């Protein structure tokens, strides 16, 4: 938390949460920027929701940092989209990478693809490649913007437009929370927003290449993520509010 941050970020989050339903996504981003002092960080995975938010931020010169977590295992198509997005808007998407020493230790311990063999191995991999870099991305920020939507999964439907992340001590805003995928797809098409070509090949939720597959007809949107695990609330830990889910050193 920065020195200029208000003492009651939790109360501020509650106020914004009450305001957001009546606002458009652009108005939500502008209101967030007007209300929350200090650094605001948007973390993008370069999925279609995040591309819409990136477009709104870059096209309207909103002072929100756009950051991606490069795990080192992304699809080639994702890196191509990253390049095309920077070229189209003339803006930089900042990158955070895994700690090299921790990554070497992880692979030495569980092998290059150890995450397939046990859920704890997969969570450890997400911890090194995503959670710890996220902590560095959000260090010193007062606000965090994400592309979460209520209808993506049962786990996410229980979240708010804006909440207070008690683990990281900041306001967490989801400006597309009430939009459907169809609405977002229509917007990105109408505004010529670059999107990942994998979306047209059945990859609706795109993460690391070894951990993402195309969906079968009728499957829910996030069924292609960590598909070999049995439970229905599969998350990497970025958006799990329980403090125990954030590995040591990953907290902002």
Binding residue per annotation — 211?
A: yes
Q: 48-59 and 76-89 are packed helices; what angle lies between their axes, rounded to 10 degrees?
A: 20
Asked if residue 66 lies in contact with residue 141, where contact means CB atoms within 8 angstroms, the answer is no
The answer to whether 12 and 35 are in contact (CB under 8 A) is yes
When computed from its CA atoms, the radius of gyration of the chain, rounded to whole angstroms, is: 17
Residue 208, beta-bridge partner list? 74
Task: 165-169: list long-range contacts, CB under 8 Å, 24+ apart.
Answer: 165/241, 166/10, 166/241, 166/243, 167/241, 167/243, 167/246, 167/251, 168/135, 168/138, 168/144, 168/251, 168/252, 169/1, 169/9, 169/252
Catalytic: 236?
A: yes
Q: Any known ligand binding at 125? A: yes
Residue pair 20/29 in contact by the 8 Å Cβ criterion = no
Q: Tell me if 117 is assigned to a ligand binding site.
A: no
Catalytic residue (choose from 13, 206, 236, 246): 236
Q: Is 246 flagged in the annotation as binding?
A: no
Q: Binding site for [4Fe-4S] cluster: residue ranges?
A: 125-126, 208, 211
Catalytic residues: 236
């Amino acid at each position: 938390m920065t020195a200029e941050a208000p003492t009651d970020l939790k109360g501020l989050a509650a106020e914004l949460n009450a305001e957001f339903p009546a606002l458009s996504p652009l108005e939500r981003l502008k209101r967030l920027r007007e209300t929350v002092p200090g650094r605001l960080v948007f973390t993008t995975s370069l999925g279609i929701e995040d591309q819409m938010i990136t477009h709104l931020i870059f096209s309207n010169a909103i002072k929100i940092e756009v950051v991606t977590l490069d795990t080192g295992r992304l699809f080639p198509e994702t890196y191509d989209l990253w390049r095309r997005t920077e070229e189209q808007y003339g803006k930089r998407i900042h990158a955070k990478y895994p700690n090299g020493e921790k990554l070497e230790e992880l692979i030495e311990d569980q092998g290059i693809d150890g995450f397939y063999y046990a859920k704890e191995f997969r969570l450890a991999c997400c911890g090194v490649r995503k959670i710890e870099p996220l902590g560095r991305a959000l260090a010193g920020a007062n606000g965090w913007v994400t592309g979460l939507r209520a209808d993506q999964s049962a786990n996410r439907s229980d979240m708010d437009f804006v909440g207070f992340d008690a683990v990281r001590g900041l306001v967490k805003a989801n400006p597309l929370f009430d939009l459907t995928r169809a609405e977002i797809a229509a917007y990105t098409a109408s505004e010529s927003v670059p999107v990942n070509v994998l979306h047209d090949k059945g990859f609706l939720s795109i993460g690391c290449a070894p951990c993402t597959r195309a969906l079968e007809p009728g499957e829910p949107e996030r069924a292609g993520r960590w598909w070999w695990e049995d439970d229905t609330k599969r998350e990497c830990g970025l958006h799990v509010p329980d403090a125990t889910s954030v590995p040591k050193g990953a907290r902002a």
